[in-house]
Amino acid sequence: MSFMQEEKRPGKKKIKTTRVVNGLDVEEEVWVDDLEAPLFKPREECRLLGTRMKRVDGPAKLTGAAEYTSDVRLEGMLYAKVLLCPFGRAKVKIDAAPALASKGCVHARQLVDETKYLGQPVAVVAAATPELAEDALRALVVEYEPLPWVLDRGQALAEGAPEVRSRGNLGRPTEDGDAGEVEAAFAQCAVVVEQEYSVPVQHHVCLETHGTVVDYRGGEDAIVYCSTQSTHGIVGDAAESLGLRKAQVRGIVQHMGGGFGSKFGLERAGTLACEISREQKRPVHLMWNREAEFLTSGNRTGAWQRVKAGANKDGRMLAMSSDVERYGGIGGGSHAGLPYLYSVEKSLRKHASVYMHLDTNCAMRAPGHPQASFAMESVVDELAAGLGMDAVEFRKRNLNSPAHLRQLDRVAELIGWNEHPNRTAPGSVDGFEAVGIGFGCSRWGVGGSPVCQVDVRVMNDGSVTAEVGSQDLGTGTRTYLAAIVAEELGRPLDGVQARLGDSRMGNANGSGGSTTTPSLAPAVQDAARQMRGVLSVAAAEHFGCAPEEVVLDPDGARAPGGKLTWLELCALLPPEGASVRGTWQSDLAVSGVACTQAARVRVDLLTGRVKVEKMVCLQECGRPLNRLALESQIRGAMTQALSYALLEERRVDPQLGIALSADLETYKIAGSLEIPEFVALVDDDDLREGVAGVGEPPVIPGAGAIANAVFNACGVRLRHLPLTPDKVLNAIEERKSS
Amino acid sequence: MTTWNVRVNGREVSVEAPPMARVLDVLRESLGLTGSKEGCGEGECGSCTVLLDGRPTCACLVPIFQVEGRELCTVEGVAGTELDPLQRVMIEAGGVQCGACTPGIVVSLRALLDRDPRPTRAAVRESIAGNLCRCTGYERILRAVEELVGSEEADA
Amino acid sequence: MTVALRPTSLSEALDALGANGAVAVAGCTDLMVVDHAPARAHATVVDLSRLPELRGVREDSGGLWIGAATTFAELRESKLVRERFPIVAEMAGTIGALQIQNRATVGGNIANASPAGDSLPVWMALDAEVEIAGRSGSRRVPYDEMHRAYRETALAPGELIVGLRLPAADEALEQRFRKVGTRAAQAISKVVVALAARVHGDELHGLRIAAGSVAPTPVRLRAAEALVEGQPLTPDLAAAAGLAAAREVTPIDDVRSTADYRRFVLARTVRRMLLACQGGEA
């Protein structure tokens, strides 16, 4: 290193200090943390961040003390319930008088004259207890006049089909790419695959359903408890439904039982609860039941994907064309687009929505991505197989990011690919069972939003709070809110009280797109470092040294001039304590995280049952804050992907116009007996200083990896999720007879 | 309305309810014990699991008249003043995220451990096969029990 | 409001069931599902779960008597059941999950008469006899005659199931049970098969095979049985019996599976179970 060059260390600065050496004052330069620069401490200096921390709300959740929206009980509270239309579409006529006359019922009304989709709420009642509300629902006199509906693609696109939207049931396609160039590129290919891949509509299945409790008794103030992903986001809609101003409404979200993208706003349950509360001037409790959760709270878009792709003999993908139909019910659906993650020299794509009389799609954990990933990972695998090429090697030739290249090697090693016999050709359908391995990759944008305002306060009795009006969906927000502050101030984790889930606290964005952590954590760190500055200045005045020379650690504060316990240090603060507000710091948020997964499956060749035995995931996340929470997110995402691959599918009977899977008996999700051995790893080769959220990326590639593993096991390619035993067995029999 | 006498978490309680009222509603509405959650109302998700005379049962499927004179234990009754060791390891191992399924899982596991202090992994898996979790992927729940009983046995 | 009765003896129970609109309940796992308001709409529910006459598992002239109010958990735990009729214990472990096994009863599963009821083919294969009581007296019905049509049993109005008698099982009695479901737990069957036979050398005698979820009621697979009965059991014969089984059932497409898949898997399951009786592929 040239002596002319000034050394730079991120987050650090050099100061001159005087030290006594052998009785002599010696002036020297030392590196100290730059209190003005809100960076995290270097990883190796952290006591808490990057370790496996116990969640701070664990005891409340384990003992049943944690209060969820559905648990809020208020004096004089009414219970509201809705009636769902059992038909694809219908005209509705309801006589609410008998319900209103039933015991304890104070509110009953029709909501729509004509429904737009299967399961739409048509009436709402409110009564003194849940049972009386149920009796009131039953007392409604309802006449349905079924109207023609379209519940599947065939019905939607049939000539003369009833229109879901005024411009027809086939949305205007969007296209991009140059057909001529793609055609020419196909001509250069040594192998071309042309196939169709489909994914069903998937439900979120949050264990806590959607719902709201409104505490309004007339007057000027209301508190709205809501199972939502956006504490601040519900206030405006609630104020409007209550006829109040935004400043008069307080949103509270202490604990919530999962959202996965379906709970961004106040939602229908919330607006109904507010309307009834406004009319009755009484608190109202309205939680969806499980059926409503399935039929009218959003879902993941289904898709049909016709794909043609080609590669040259070296395994480079040269051409791809795709034609995608999105099935988002009355909504437009979402699809991330092909060739998704992979680099293909020339590609052409066309997307269109097909509208049906079904509940609209909404955001769900990486909206649009698992659909595209399933098709893309399948096509990639088919091309590799067509060339007789190792599936890992083929992927590496078509992925650009160095992260994916190194992850593929590591994941291949962890799943046992290098010792696996079927690396270049699949196994056979002979015998009782077959074992195979498959791969998938994903990438997610993350990136932070600059809106968070975090308040950290230290009182002169030593108590510390960190608060922000964000929310903890169960992912561990509360824990890192406390941990970042504790890390910076040298406190134990339980020495900082984290408060969130209250719209009276500092602003925060809704939790979506895995952006909570990269939006919030930088603002927390900013506040924490500011507070450290305040405490360091107080200590420095006491010791007569520079603030940077003060070290905060679990014992309190020390500096060249001496030591203070934490309580002594805080006693130096004025009676009202000290408070600071932190804001977002772009340096501390990363964008773009790579993920690679592998699955090993065992296929029962006699029944077609697929058992996933092992799943490996390597996930970038920038700087890990809490490994326990990160690994749990990754395992949970893999489980949802497994469930999507093998079990989940919304089903309706298009002829009868009824729902077939609106409960947990007919819509199965993975249980404890389905889960494989998991290897869930944070990618520690990602050395970026900023943080990222990982809610979405690990849910993306799993289904493709599992389907590829089934092919690898026994040579049958399943192109339509879920991989139910009947489809697998049919494919096995076809291969046997061919 | 009829008065029912039930022992709940070690305490004798008398509660008024119609005979077919669900035990889940009685616990949540009349007794204020909201730890047991309603996830499905049809015995599929296990979020409302309570012990009825020591056996895990879905409180949504039991009418109150059938528990007259019997004993119920809910998640609130698993711990005394301190956390139960099972609750402690669930936190340490990371067996909880959103927490909506957690009370039912704690009750199911407590019942397992009361019957079998050293269960195999297969037995632990089976004991929560009637409890759905959408967040964690279950693995850490199994691990928590293994840490508690000191076994590190892989799946049979 | 519903009147809930908890009779303490069989005769009290029968009197109570004689009333208009009275319905018998025990574990309530079917009755209470989803929207329990209809449950409250019954005029009278009569709880059979604690009737002494309906409880217990005991020896009965070499065989077993199983009370109708026995829960599936109690079946799994019963030493007598596990020793004499291991497939009964095995079947009990596949009913719902533990929360359901702790409540659901033997009699309830029979009376509910779902074509997918997992216990029903087992009783059929084991040649059980159902003990039925009514106000005019009691009678016994061979299990083969218990299920008459879709969700219709041999029970007359006002009657109830007291228990089941299983004929003696000796060492030579081979018993097999297999359930193919959507998921490993809490899954209603796609196909469920039970088999019992006595092994004499390479032959099976007194073969009884029964299946569920493949017809409107649980059914004996008589064509398959006839092929195999008393014949040297070869892999070819087992395969032929499987195909015969698939031909004699009338499964449907439903939300859990397809008719084709059920036939296919039934054929293979029967073949495998037969071969397993001789220590073949399991």
> For residue A292, which residues of chain C lie inside 8 Å, CB to CB?
none
Sign (positive/negative) of CA torsion A521, A524, A530, A533? Answer: negative
> From CA B131, how far away is CA B141, in angstroms rounded?
11
B71 and B14 belong to one structural domain: yes
Closest by CA position to A89, among listed A307, A451, A357, A323: A357
Question: Is the per-residue pLDDT at B153 higher than 70?
Answer: no
C235 and C251 belong to one structural domain: yes
> From CA A344, how far away is CA A394, in angstroms rounded?
13
Tell me which residue in A54, A640, A663 faces B40 most closely, judged by beta carbons. Answer: A663
CB contact under 8 A, A606 and C268: yes
Overall residue count recorded for chain B in this entry: 156
A669 Cα to chain B: minimum distance (Å): 8
C63 and C97 belong to one structural domain: yes
B90 and B130 belong to one structural domain: yes
Question: Is the per-residue pLDDT at B75 higher than 50?
Answer: yes
pLDDT at B156: 39
DSSP A587: G
Cα dihedral C222→C225→C227→C228 (10° resolution): 180
Sign (positive/negative) of CA torsion A597, A603, A608, A612? Answer: negative
Residues of B (26-65) whose Cβ lies below 8 Å from A: 28-29, 32-42, 44-45, 47
Question: Is the per-residue pLDDT at A1 higher than 60?
Answer: no
A459 and A558 belong to one structural domain: yes
Looking at per-residue confidence, does C92 or C40 come out higher?
A: C92
C150 and C191 belong to one structural domain: no
CB contact under 8 A, A607 and C268: yes
Beta strands A556-559 and C129-134 are: unpaired
A596 and A470 belong to one structural domain: no
Reported as a single tens digit per residue, the pLDDT across C204-250 is 999 999 999 999 999 999 999 999 999 999 999 999 999 999 999 99
> From CA B5, how far away is CA A109, in angstroms rounded?
38
Assess if residue A231 is contained within a domain. yes
C-alpha distances out from residue C74 to A718, C49, C78, C143, Å? 42, 13, 6, 21
> From CA A155, how far away is CA A388, in angstroms rounded?
41
Residues of A (258-297) whose Cβ lies below 8 Å from C: 291
* Residue at which a domain ends, from B78, B105, B128: B78
Orientation of helix A702-714 relative to helix A369-387, angle to 10°: 30
Tell me which residue in C4, C29, C186 faces B61 most closely, judged by beta carbons. Answer: C29
Amino acid letter, C203: E
Assess if residue C157 is contained within a domain. yes
C120 and C182 belong to one structural domain: no
Give the other-Cβ count within 10 Å of A366's Cβ: 28
DSSP states along A683-725: -TT---SSB---SSGGGSSHHHHHHHHHHHHHS----BSS--H
> From CA C23, how far away is CA C13, in angstroms rounded?
11
Coil, strand, or helix at residue A577? coil
> From CA C98, how far away is CA A298, in angstroms rounded?
32
User: What total of structural domains would you count in chain A?
Assistant: 3
pLDDT at B154: 46
Question: Is the per-residue pLDDT at A543 higher than 50?
Answer: yes
Beta strands B55-58 and B49-52 are: antiparallel
A412 and A476 belong to one structural domain: no
- pLDDT tier for residue A564 given thresholds of 50, 70 and 90: very high
C172 CB within 8 Å of a chain B CB: no
> From CA C142, how far away is CA A327, in angstroms rounded?
52
B93 and B62 belong to one structural domain: no
Assess if residue B154 is contained within a domain. no
Assess if residue C26 is contained within a domain. yes
A77 and A214 belong to one structural domain: yes
Reported as a single tens digit per residue, the pLDDT across A119-175 is 999 999 999 999 999 999 999 999 999 999 999 999 999 999 999 999 899 999 999
A529 and A454 belong to one structural domain: yes
C69 Cα to chain B: minimum distance (Å): 14
pLDDT at A5: 57
CB contact under 8 A, C45 and B20: yes
Assess if residue A54 is contained within a domain. no
List the CATH number of the domain containing B18: 3.10.20.30
Assess if residue C32 is contained within a domain. yes
pLDDT at B152: 56
Residues of B (117-136) whose Cβ lies below 8 Å from A: 125-126, 128-136
What share of chain B has pLDDT > 90, as a percent?
92
B74 and B6 belong to one structural domain: yes
- pLDDT tier for residue C62 given thresholds of 50, 70 and 90: confident
> From CA A652, how far away is CA C72, in angstroms rounded?
33
CA Rg value for chain C: 19
pLDDT at C36: 57
| Helices marked H in C126-258 | 222-228, 235-248
Token pair recorded at residue C272:
């495998």
Tell me which residue in A432, A673, A726 faces C257 most closely, judged by beta carbons. Answer: A726
Q: What is the pTM of this model?
A: 0.95
pLDDT at C35: 55
C106 and C39 belong to one structural domain: no
The residues, any chain, with a CB within 8 Å of residue A170's CB and separated by 6 or more, are A156, A157, A352, A353, A354, A355
A531 and A508 belong to one structural domain: yes
Beta strands A677-682 and A610-619 are: parallel
User: What total of structural domains would you count in chain C?
Assistant: 3
C175: enclosing H helix or E strand: strand C173-181
| Structural domain that includes position C129 | 52-166
CB contact under 8 A, B130 and C185: yes
| Structural domain that includes position B11 | 2-78
The residues, any chain, with a CB within 8 Å of residue A24's CB and separated by 6 or more, are none
Tell me which residue in C6, C32, C40 faces B60 most closely, judged by beta carbons. Answer: C32
Beta strands A284-287 and A78-84 are: parallel
C-alpha distances out from residue C89 to A200, A702, C56, C79, C81, Å? 37, 37, 15, 9, 6
A613 CB within 8 Å of a chain C CB: no
CB A630 within 8 A of CB A726: no
Assess if residue C282 is contained within a domain. no
> For residue C34, which residues of chain B lie inside 8 Å, CB to CB?
41-42
- pLDDT tier for residue C281 given thresholds of 50, 70 and 90: low
> For residue A206, which residues of chain B lie inside 8 Å, CB to CB?
98, 100, 134
C75 and C102 belong to one structural domain: yes
CB contact under 8 A, B125 and A289: no
Amino acid letter, B140: R
Question: Is the per-residue pLDDT at A673 higher than 70?
Answer: yes
Assess if residue C281 is contained within a domain. no
CB A144 within 8 A of CB A85: yes
Reported as a single tens digit per residue, the pLDDT across C24-51 is 999 999 888 855 565 567 788 999 999 9
List the CATH number of the domain containing A115: 3.90.1170.50
C56 and C151 belong to one structural domain: yes
User: What total of structural domains would you count in chain B?
Assistant: 2
Token pair recorded at residue A277:
């509360």
Assess if residue C270 is contained within a domain. yes
Question: Is the per-residue pLDDT at B141 higher than 50?
Answer: yes
Which of A53, A57, A61, A516 should we substitute to test contact with B (largest number of B Cβ atoms within 10 Å)? A61
CB B98 within 8 A of CB A58: no
A630 Cα to chain B: minimum distance (Å): 10
C103 and C160 belong to one structural domain: yes
CB A351 within 8 A of CB A174: yes
Closest by CA position to B104, among listed B137, B73, B131: B131
C72 and C145 belong to one structural domain: yes
C188 CB within 8 Å of a chain A CB: yes
Within 13 Å and on the Cβ side, how many CA atoms surround C142?
A: 6
Reported as a single tens digit per residue, the pLDDT across A695-708 is 999 999 999 999 99
pLDDT at B57: 98
- pLDDT tier for residue A273 given thresholds of 50, 70 and 90: very high
What share of chain A has pLDDT > 70, as a percent?
99
Residues of C (143-182) whose Cβ lies below 8 Å from A: 180, 182
Closest by CA position to A19, among listed A510, A546, A528, A531: A546
Assess if residue B102 is contained within a domain. yes
* Residue at which a domain ends, from A533, A566, A588: A588
Q: Is A636 exposed, middle or buried (0-12, 13-18, 19+ CB in 10 A)?
A: buried
Token pair recorded at residue A207:
């264990």
> For residue A632, which residues of chain B lie inside 8 Å, CB to CB?
94, 97, 135-137, 140
| Structural domain that includes position A91 | 69-148+210-287
Structure-token match 């009678």, residue found = C139
pLDDT at C171: 81
> For residue A606, which residues of chain C lie inside 8 Å, CB to CB?
265, 268, 272
A270 and A322 belong to one structural domain: no
> From CA A698, how far away is CA A633, in angstroms rounded?
8
- pLDDT tier for residue A308 given thresholds of 50, 70 and 90: very high
pLDDT at C37: 60
* Residue at which a domain ends, from B15, B46, B78: B78
Question: Is the per-residue pLDDT at B155 higher than 70?
Answer: no
pLDDT at B151: 64
Reported as a single tens digit per residue, the pLDDT across B2-61 is 999 999 999 999 999 999 999 999 999 999 999 999 999 999 999 999 999 999 999 999
A63: enclosing H helix or E strand: helix A58-63
List the CATH number of the domain containing A495: 3.30.365.10
A576 and A612 belong to one structural domain: no
> From CA A466, how far away is CA A485, in angstroms rounded?
7
Closest by CA position to A570, among listed A475, A461, A482: A461
Coil, strand, or helix at residue A184? helix
C159 and C62 belong to one structural domain: yes
B52 and B93 belong to one structural domain: no
- pLDDT tier for residue A210 given thresholds of 50, 70 and 90: very high
Q: Please, what is the average pLDDT of chain A?
A: 95
C43 and C57 belong to one structural domain: no
* Residue at which a domain ends, from B35, B62, B78: B78
> For residue B43, which residues of chain C lie inside 8 Å, CB to CB?
29, 32-33, 96, 99-100
A634 and A529 belong to one structural domain: no
What share of chain A has pLDDT > 90, as a percent?
93
Reported as a single tens digit per residue, the pLDDT across A487-539 is 999 999 999 999 999 999 999 999 998 999 999 999 999 999 999 999 999 99
Tell me which residue in A134, A668, A672 faces C182 most closely, judged by beta carbons. Answer: A668
CB contact under 8 A, C184 and A674: yes
> For residue C33, which residues of chain B lie inside 8 Å, CB to CB?
41-43, 61
> HEC profile for A129-165?
CHHHHHHHHHHCEEEEEECCCCCCHHHHHCCCCCCCC
Cα dihedral A160→A163→A166→A168 (10° resolution): -60
Beta strands C219-220 and A284-287 are: unpaired
The residues, any chain, with a CB within 8 Å of residue C177's CB and separated by 6 or more, are C87, C90, C91, C122, C192, C193, C194, C195
Assess if residue A14 is contained within a domain. no
How much is the ipTM here? 0.97
A88 Cα to chain C: minimum distance (Å): 18
C88 Cα to chain A: minimum distance (Å): 22
Reported as a single tens digit per residue, the pLDDT across A441-455 is 999 998 899 999 999
Token pair recorded at residue A99:
């319900």
DSSP A53: P
Chain-centre distance of CA A174, in angstroms? 27
C165: enclosing H helix or E strand: strand C160-166
- pLDDT tier for residue C169 given thresholds of 50, 70 and 90: confident
> For residue B59, which residues of chain A lie inside 8 Å, CB to CB?
none
> From CA A90, how far away is CA A148, in angstroms rounded?
8
Amino acid letter, A392: V
C171: enclosing H helix or E strand: none
* Residue at which a domain ends, from A240, A263, A287: A287
Q: What's the whole-number mean pLDDT along residues A551-561?
A: 93
Q: What's the whole-number mean pLDDT along residues C144-163?
A: 96
Reported as a single tens digit per residue, the pLDDT across A18-57 is 766 777 777 778 778 888 888 999 999 999 999 999 999 9
C-alpha distances out from residue A508 to A235, A267, A448, A500, C3, Å? 13, 19, 11, 10, 53
A271 and A219 belong to one structural domain: yes
pLDDT at C175: 96
pLDDT at A35: 82
Phi, psi of C49 (to 5 degrees): -65, -20
pLDDT at A6: 63
DSSP states along A249-312: EEEE-SB----TTS-SS-HHHHHHHHHHHHHHTS-EEEE--HHHHHHSS--BPEEEEEEEEEE-
Assess if residue B155 is contained within a domain. no
Compute the C-alpha angle A253/A245/A74, nearest 5°: 45
* Residue at which a domain ends, from C11, C30, C47: C47
C148 and C207 belong to one structural domain: no
Assess if residue B43 is contained within a domain. yes
B61 and B89 belong to one structural domain: no
pLDDT at A27: 79
| Helices marked H in A502-608 | 516-543, 566-571
List the CATH number of the domain containing C91: 3.30.465.10
Tell me which residue in B18, B42, B131 faces C34 most closely, judged by beta carbons. Answer: B42
Taking CA–CA distances from A134, the nearest residue in chain C reads C37
